[in-house]
Each structure stands twice: as C-alpha cells, then as structure tokens.
Amino acid sequence: MGPVTAMLMKNYPLLSRVDSPADLHRLEDQQLPQLADELREFLIDSVAHTGGHLAAGLGTVELAIALHRVYNTPHDRLVWDIGHQAYPHKILTGRRDAMHSLRQQHGLSGFLSREESEYDAFGAGHSSTSISAALGMAAAAAREHSDRKCVAIIGDGAMTAGMAYEALNNAGDQDCDLLVILNDNEMSISPNRGAMHNHLARILSSRFYTGVREQSKHILNNLPGARRFLGRWEEHMKGMLLPGTLFEELGFNYIGPLDGHDLPALVSTLRNLYNLKGRQFLHIVTRKGKGYDPAEQDPCNYHGVTPFDRATGTQQKGTPSKTYSAVFGDWLCDMAATDERLMAITPAMCEGSGMVRYAETYADRYFDVGIAEQHALTFAGGLACEGLKPVVAIYSTFLQRAYDQLIHDIALQDLDITLAIDRAGLVGADGATHAGVFDLSFLRCVPNLVIAAPADETECRQLLTTTYRHAGPAAVRYPRGTGPGILPGDELEELPLGKAEIRRTGRRVAILAFGSCVDAAHGAGDAIDATVVNMRYIKPLDSELVMKMAQEHELLVTVEENAVAGGAGAAVNELLAEQGVVIPVRNLGIPDQFIPHGSHAQQLAQCGIDAAGIEKTITAALPTAMDALPTEQQTG
C-alpha cells in the first residue's frame, strides 16, 4: 500500500473505495452523506495544494454524487457547463488520485476534456454551452432510438448568456428527452422554504403527478374549452408557488427549487425524473464555497485560488508587481476623471479585468452585461452612436464569441470604441480553452481597426490613451499577469500612431517583436548581438521601419504571442511581398496546434518564443540565411 493510498484509506474511508461511478452504485443510500463530507474535505485539501477553482465545486458536491448515483455514466451523458463546478465530478470518475497534478504540465486539466476522460461528455472552458450540446446529444439519441439519457448542468451565471436561451428555445421544437439542471448558487434558502420546495419538487417529479397530468390532458383534449382550462389551471397553480413560468413557456416541465445540498431529496427527485419523457427543467439552489468557511464568506475571492493554507485560508501571494489588468484599471479611472463621455463595459469580468475601483467610483458609467459578449459589443456600438466613448474590457478568448458584432456592428460603421483585450497570449494553467492566441489573426483582417500591443506596463497605459483618443475602433491587447515591471506614472501620455521603436541596434539579424515578446527578444538580441524592434502596432504596421530593417540586415525574425497563421508576422511577410523585397524571414509564435496547460514559462519554451528559443532559431537560421538570397544580393 503506497502512502497516498494509505492516506486516502485513513482520512477518506468511503471516498477511497470510489474509483468510478460503478463503485458509487454499490454504496447504500445512507452512506451517501458521509461520502459527500469526505468528497468536500478531499476537494478542499486537493485545491489547497494545487490551486484552481474552489467555491463553485464545493457547491456541487451533492449534485455530482446524486447524478452519478442515479445515471448510468458514461453511457448516459452528463454535460457540465464550464469546468468550475465539475471538480467533484472529476474526483468521482477515476481521477481522484491524479488531482495533485491539476492544472500542471502533463497533469489534469482544470476544465472538462473529452481527451482526458470518457465521463467528460463535452469539453468546456467557456460558459453557457451545456444546453446546446446536451440537446444535440439528446436529438442524436432520439434518432438512434437509444435509451441514453442526456443531462445539462448549468450555473445561474451562465444563464445570463443568450446562447443558453437560444438552446432552450430550440429545445421546444425537438422531440427528444432532455433534463436541464439549473445550479442556482446566488440564492440562499431558509430551512422552512427549502423544506417546502423540496416537498413540492418531489411531488412534481413523481410518476403519480406526471401520470395524472398527462392522462388528464388526454381525456380532456376533445372537450370544448377543457384543455385550455386545464392549462390555465396548471399554470396558475404552479405560478403561485414556483418561479418556473418562463421555462414552462419554453416547453419544459419545471421542477423546483430544490435544496441542492439535500442529498436524499436530490437522489429521490433525479430517480423520479430518470424515466420521464420530454423536456424537464430542475432548479436547484446551492451555496458557493459550501463547507469551507473562508470560501462561504468570500466566494468571489475563492472562485479561483492559488495554493492556500487549509487552516487559515491564506493564499500564496505571487509577485508584488502590478498586473496588466491593474494597470488598465488605474488607467480607466484616470481617463474617466478627464472625460465624462467614457463608459466602461464588461461581460461579467469586473474583478478579472481590474475594474472594481472604477465600478465603485463611476457606478453610473459602468455596465456589467453578464456573460453576453455579443451584446456587450453591440451595446457599446449604441453608446458610441450617441457620442459617448465606450471602453469594452474583454478577455481575448471571450472576444472570439463576438466576432460578428465586432465586424458588422462596430468596424463596418467605424464607431469610436476601444477594446481592452486582457489575457492575450498563453495563459498558463488555464490551458488551451482560455488561451488568447488568435485575436491578432482574426482582428488584423478587419478594416478600420487599429491594433496595438504594449511591450511593458508603461506602454500599456500609453497605448490605451492613444487608442482611446483615436477617432474610430481600436484594440489594445495585453497579456495575463505582470510584465517587465516598468510601472507607469499618472500622466496620460500618447504614442505616435503606427510607429515602432528600435530598442537595440545589432548586426546581421533584426528581431521584430510584438507586445509581450519584446522582453524575450531583447534577451536573445543581447546574446547574439541582434537588432531588436518593439513594433507596438500590428495595424497600422510601421512599414517604413520594417523596410529599413530588411535593407540593413540579412535575416528578419518576427516574434509574437499569437498564432503564426495570419498573425503579426504574416503582416510583415505581406508587406515584404508587396514591396518585392526578398529576404529570409522566420516567423515565431504559436504553432498550428492547441497548447496544453502548464506554467506560462513552460508554454513559451514549448513554442520557442522565450529568449532561449528565439536565440536557437536565429542561430540555426544564420548559416543558411545568405544562401536564400539571390546571387546579386549575396555578392553585394
């Protein structure tokens, strides 16, 4: 018996016996509350060691147990919305002993992954996809005449996205069986109200109730006015007691709200629902951070955590340097103080985007639109049409969801909107689902759009000022975390639009570095005596300086923390081709693959865009660089 197994047997005697849902089925019902206690404690201990998402998962312990207890997974499909609430699901589905590797290179993903486990029915890093995916699976099961059950588990925050309602609306036209579980963790239920609604949920999901309901409709269907009366009576009775009228109107049989921590009630209700036909909607209420006092008291701070001390809840602090998000937040407040037209918009990322102080100071000029990126951009467009100056703070990976709005509603109309694109580039432990490595590629082809990328914190503030004062749509993309530590002052200084700067003068090789890669490029330039250019702008490109570098050097190297395909390096290639310049070029960036989770440094090294990787590429390319030139250029 190894030390890990011995520890499990000692501290988690029931959980140590659950290596798969099949083992869970062998337990007695009365053992499940103890299993929930052990699972919750194991989750706290595990995330305290690795960091990750905590509060949401603590709220879904009982739900995960009940679902895997009642459903025959993986034959039955459980589609969890995003991964924050699915850690208990991971632990129950054969990944318990690997939780120590969570979010580490070659370890478990912090999100859901079909490659990682057959129990992850649908991969998800972004929210609000579960109902659409589960509906597709349910439609496939109906087409195959399969008895496979399909369940979507979605949080109340994810229900702010239009995609969730598009799926619910479409489900009303589908002849298939689907259960949607709304995990509502923003409410708390008093014991009396909880007991009452648990009782109602069991009644409304029972075979007796559903049998009477359907049989009455069948009998009264041909009586004049009777069916209409029955529908009104049922709607009236449920409307008095339950908040589910909207879901009923969308074609779902609404059940709840149910206390999501009452394990016997959950199991009983899910068993009742298991064989019901049609579309069912179960509303459960849970508490974020359940069972761990620091997380219960401050679920926002314990949503995503660094490793922490289990006894005190104190999280490990990273570098004291100011993050790019904090630099943006300070700039936002300073600019708002000078311009009353500034309106700040976020799609549910106030804390992550560094907007807390702004939201408190300028509450009447702050808009959190929920997880609705498409709406955020078009809403900004409406504000701009009326002479206001919207700033949309959005993660690069989430901007992907609003691409049509960016083109059709903003760029096409040349509206004066600034996009502050956070988390641009690789994002370490959050992995491929959250990597912002495509924005330069999909933004660069959009007319009217200015695109800038700062090399450091001071330049971030300067480029935000420049693009904000530019009359038209503009985007500033900056990475997660901290930069070189060049902290800005309080001034709102602009930089020349479309102009790069030479950071270092060297021989033979010119490194054209974009944004977050400038520091690494400088390190490589020092090692091999190369010229280093901080390009600053992707669009408009400083074509004059690029041509000068091509004339004075034997090799050009572009470096960016974005996909090579269609990225900033491709813009340089296009310029050289347009001008008929023939010179060896190496484009460094993110290769044509999704980069798995690990530390940010590990990811940069994997892609060859750290200082060592840049130096290695240049060293390998130099002996052949002259061979690639036409003979007349080789001889001078």
Could you list the beta-strand ranges (E) of 353-453: 366-368, 389-395, 418-422, 450-452
- The runs of H, that is alpha helices, within 16-157 are 21-25, 32-50, 55-58, 61-70, 87-90, 130-143
- The runs of H, that is alpha helices, within 369-456 are 373-385, 396-399, 403-404, 439-443
C-alpha angle 20/26/29, rounded to 5°? 115
Is 401 known to be catalytic?
Answer: yes
Q: Which amino acid is at 37?
A: D
- The runs of H, that is alpha helices, within 350-423 are 356-361, 373-385, 396-399, 403-404
Q: Of 90, 238, 279, 373, which is the active-site residue?
A: 373
Helix (H) or strand (E) holding 533: strand 531-534
Number of H helices, E strands in the chain: 27, 19
Helix (H) or strand (E) holding 461: helix 457-469
Task: List, in order, residues 6 or more apart from 333 with CB less than 8 Å away.
Answer: 357, 358, 361, 362
Q: Are 425 and 385 in contact (CB under 8 A)?
A: no
Give the three-state DSSP class for 147: coil
Pairing state of beta strands 342-346 and 389-395?
parallel
DSSP state of 176: S
CB neighbourhood size of 14 (10 A): 17
Q: Of 77, 96, 389, 401, which is the active-site residue?
A: 401
Q: Of 69, 95, 238, 288, which is the active-site residue?
A: 288
Q: Which amino acid is at 54?
A: L
Helices 543-552, 568-579: inter-axial angle, 10-degree rounding: 70
Distance CA 455, CA 450 (A): 17
Distance CA 158, CA 328 (A): 26
Q: What are the catalytic residues? A: 288, 373, 401
